[in-house]
Amino acid sequence: MMAGYEGHKMADRTKQNDAKPNINVRRLTPDDLDGTVAIDRAIVGHSRRGYFEKRLAAALRDLDLHIQFGIDGPDGLEATLLARVLSGEFGHAAKTVILEVIDVAPDCQHLGHGASLLAALEAEMQTRGIETLQTSILWTDHTMAKFLGANDFVKAQRHIIAGGIDRLGQTWGDDDETGDSDHGDDWDRVDDTEASSQDGIDVASLEREDLDALVRIDRKLTGRDRRDYIAAKVDEALFDSGIRVSLVARDDNIVVGFLMARLDFGDFGRAAPAAVIDTVGVHPDFSGHGVARALLAQLVVNLRGLRVESIETTVALDNFDLLGFLYRAGFEPTQRIALTKQVA
């Protein structure tokens, strides 16, 4: 999301649930970069300019996948909201909106800015016919929990888990195995009963010519043709290697699996960079050949070189096989709670 996606920085601690009529919400533009960075820096204590540059640029490339709003005041920008539209991550069949950032300048808080931005986001979702809004918070952020609870968010039925790069893979045994995994709010049907050897499986960075193979594997696993979603992820991986960290696995030069991951240096208010796994697919004919394990192992190697500290993902509460595989790999529950809301 995420992903493996989790948390966001909500600076506006207003208790008001409804947008005030005299607050005008508009869409962000590239000219808002400096103002957006300044507001966020005043809240988190350090600059996340690189993250906001990437998000604003991504919105220009594809308006359908990004929703970004701002509120102006007499002295300029006072509040911002950044959200993404998921079109297939974590096995979702329908589009979902992920709320990543709501920042309100410290001297403009408690004026209804947060509620106004949230109302604008939900109105945009209704226009697009998207019903599900998701985010997550630290379990200790009681004020944020109260705000979101007052706005009809509830606890989502999924775990947000993460693993430190230095620990991942150290607890695997030669006989480690997982069973079938449903394609719910998690990786896409990873059935990876681990063989004692991964000979013959080569893992490399994703290439544009891999698209057709990825679409075929995904169709076998999900029963749906998600070419548009897969194509968008491939293009994103190749367009900006600083955001995507995606891999393919080959056996005798045939693509047998893939892993879609992204790398952001500031989304959800993170102080340290983290990779988020969106989708993993293994061709059913290669189940039990250690493909998912090989993909995850190579991702760890690549992320060490980028000095990334952790990998995150999200898994349905009842996906015990996949959870077991990831826990044995070194993943653990995080301190965040996944939240969701159905927008009428």
pLDDT digits (tens, 9 = 90+) for 131-181: 999 998 888 888 888 889 988 999 999 889 999 988 886 655 544 444 333
Residues 182 and 311 in one domain: yes
Do 94 and 192 fall within a single domain?
A: no
Q: Residue 70: which of 82, 62, 60, 58 has the closest Cα? A: 82
79-101 pLDDT per residue, tens: 999 998 887 555 455 788 999 99
- The mean-pLDDT minimum among 3-7, 303-307, 316-320 falls in 3-7
Q: Which residues contact 270 (CB under 8 A, 6 or more apart)?
A: 7, 264
pLDDT at 257: 95
Query: Residue 170's pLDDT is what?
Result: 66
With 60 as the cut, is the pLDDT of residue 36 above it? yes
Domain identity same for 166 and 142 = no
**Residues written for the chain:** 344
Question: Does the pLDDT at position 126 exceed 90?
Answer: yes
Question: Are 33 and 60 within one domain?
Answer: yes
Reduced to 3 states (helix: H, G, I; strand: E, B; else coil), residue 312 is: strand
340 in a structural domain? no
The pLDDT value recorded for residue 272 is 63
Q: What are phi and psi of 63, to 5 degrees?
A: -65, -25
**Number of structural domains, the chain?**
2
Q: Is residue 341 part of a domain?
A: no
Q: What is the distance between the alpha carbons of residues 243 and 297, in angstroms, rounded to a whole number?
A: 19
Residue 238 CA to residue 61 CA, distance in Å, equals 14
More confident residue, 175 or 278: 278
Average pLDDT over residues 116-127: 96
Domain check: are 312 and 171 in the same one? yes
Q: Residue written as tokens 């998207």?
A: 130
Q: For the full predicted model, state whether its pTM sits above 0.75.
A: yes
Note the pLDDT of residue 184: 34
My answer on whether 119 and 202 are in the same domain is no
Query: Picking from 1-5, 7-11, 38-42, which range would have the lowest pLDDT averaged per residue?
Result: 1-5
174 and 146 in a single domain? The answer is no
Q: Is residue 344 part of a domain?
A: no
Measure the N-to-C terminal CA separation of the chain; round to a whole number of Å.
Answer: 23
> Quick check: is 3 in a domain?
no
Dihedral of CA 295/315/5/188: which sign? Answer: positive
Among the candidates 157, 192, 215, a domain finishes at 157
* Domain harbouring 94, CATH code: 3.40.630.30
**In which domain, by residue range, is 305 found?**
160-335
Report how far residue 12's alpha carbon sits from residue 158's, in angstroms, rounded to the nearest whole number: 26
Average pLDDT for residues 116-123, to the nearest whole number? 96
Task: Based on the fold, state whether residues 262 and 196 are members of the same structural domain.
Answer: yes
**Residue 332 contacts residue 161 (beta carbons within 8 Å):** yes
Residue at 1 is within a domain: no
Q: What is d(CA 237, CA 96) in angstroms, rounded to the nearest whole number?
A: 20
pLDDT of residue 230: 84
Which of 26-40, 124-138, 267-281 has the lowest average pLDDT?
Answer: 267-281
- How does 312-343 read in b/e, with b if 16+ C-beta sit within 10 Å? bbbbbeebebbbebbebbbbeebebbbbbbee
Q: Tell the residue number behind the tokens 């909106």, with chain if given.
A: 97
Residue 49 DSSP SS3? helix
Q: How much is the pLDDT for 153?
A: 94
In this structure, the answer to whether residues 71 and 188 fall within a common structural domain is no
Query: CA dist 126 to 84, 123, 133, 192, Å?
Result: 15, 5, 11, 39
Cα distances (angstroms) measured from residue 209 to each of 170, 205, 219, 338:
33, 12, 17, 35
Cβ burial, residue 227 (10 Å; 0-12/13-18/19+): middle
pLDDT score for 7: 36
Of the residues 115, 142, 157, the one at which a domain ends = 157
* Domain contains 2: no
Dump strand ranges (E) for the chain: 9-10, 25-27, 66-73, 76-86, 96-104, 132-138, 154-155, 158-164, 201-205, 247-251, 254-264, 274-282, 310-316, 332-333, 336-342
Structure tokens at 5: 């996606």
Task: Kindly state whether residues 32 and 109 are assigned to the same domain.
Answer: yes
Looking at the structure, tell me whether residues 186 and 274 fall in a common domain: yes
* Residues 99, 85: Cα–Cα separation, whole Å: 9
Domain shared by 112 and 88, yes or no: yes
Percent of the chain whose pLDDT exceeds 90? 38
